[in-house]
Amino acid sequence: MRASVMLHLPALTRCGQISRLAGAVSKLGLIIRGAHGEGSSPKGDLYQLSNQITLGITEKAALDNLQSITLQLVNQERDARKALLENPAESDKVWRALGILQTARLLSGDEFMELVSLVRLGCAAGMLDTPLEKVNELMISMQPATITAAQGRNLTSQQRDAVRAEQVRSALAAG
């Protein structure tokens, strides 16, 4: 049985800890990689943590191991967030990201994910008043295929970037 969880790890990423963690979880029978699986890069600091050993262990053991390691990673991320955001330059990046998202007229998918990751970091750390649920919804609804499907027609990349920027501005202006 393959089991996985998605994790948003911006502070551990910015502190350069992901490689170390990848090695550590590998020794425990898990693998950490980009959100879209093997070979994908971690856009928006989203990672997939999944079991790699499936033979010889029960489903319960696999799930218990995944849950235990997930909780450890979440706690490490929380600690890293506190330390990271004590640095004025790092907390400033959160505010700048919010400002860009609230005013941009074009947002590529990559730029959006980079900026929204910082905003989500700020929300999770209690720096920003934007509800975390709203940011999570934006992370999903502003993906290229989702935008195209919602528009009901094919869009050029520039059209999609304009739609993304408009919808993000609207969502973040609504408080």
Cα end-to-end distance, the chain, whole Å: 42
* pTM summary value: 0.89
What pLDDT does residue 34 have?
A: 81
- For residue 40, is pLDDT > 90? no
pLDDT tens figures, 98-120: 999 999 999 999 999 999 999 99
Mean pLDDT across 41-54: 86
What pLDDT does residue 1 have?
A: 76
pLDDT tens figures, 126-138: 999 999 999 999 9
Q: What are phi and psi of 79, to 5 degrees?
A: -65, -40
Distance, CA of 154 to CA of 51 (rounded, Å): 37
Residues 6+ apart with CB under 8 A from 143: 109
Distance, CA of 69 to CA of 134 (rounded, Å): 27
pLDDT tens figures, 15-39: 999 989 999 999 988 999 886 656 6
What pLDDT does residue 166 have?
A: 98
* Contact between residue 49 and residue 66 where contact means Cβ atoms under 8 Å apart: yes
pLDDT tens figures, 57-92: 888 988 999 999 999 999 999 999 999 999 999 999
Q: How many CB atoms lie within 10 A of CB 67?
A: 12
Domain layout of the chain by residue ranges? 4-83, 88-173
What pLDDT does residue 50 have?
A: 92
Distance, CA of 140 to CA of 155 (rounded, Å): 18
What pLDDT does residue 36 have?
A: 60
What pLDDT does residue 115 have?
A: 98
What pLDDT does residue 38 have?
A: 63
- For residue 148, is pLDDT > 60? yes
- For residue 14, is pLDDT > 90? yes
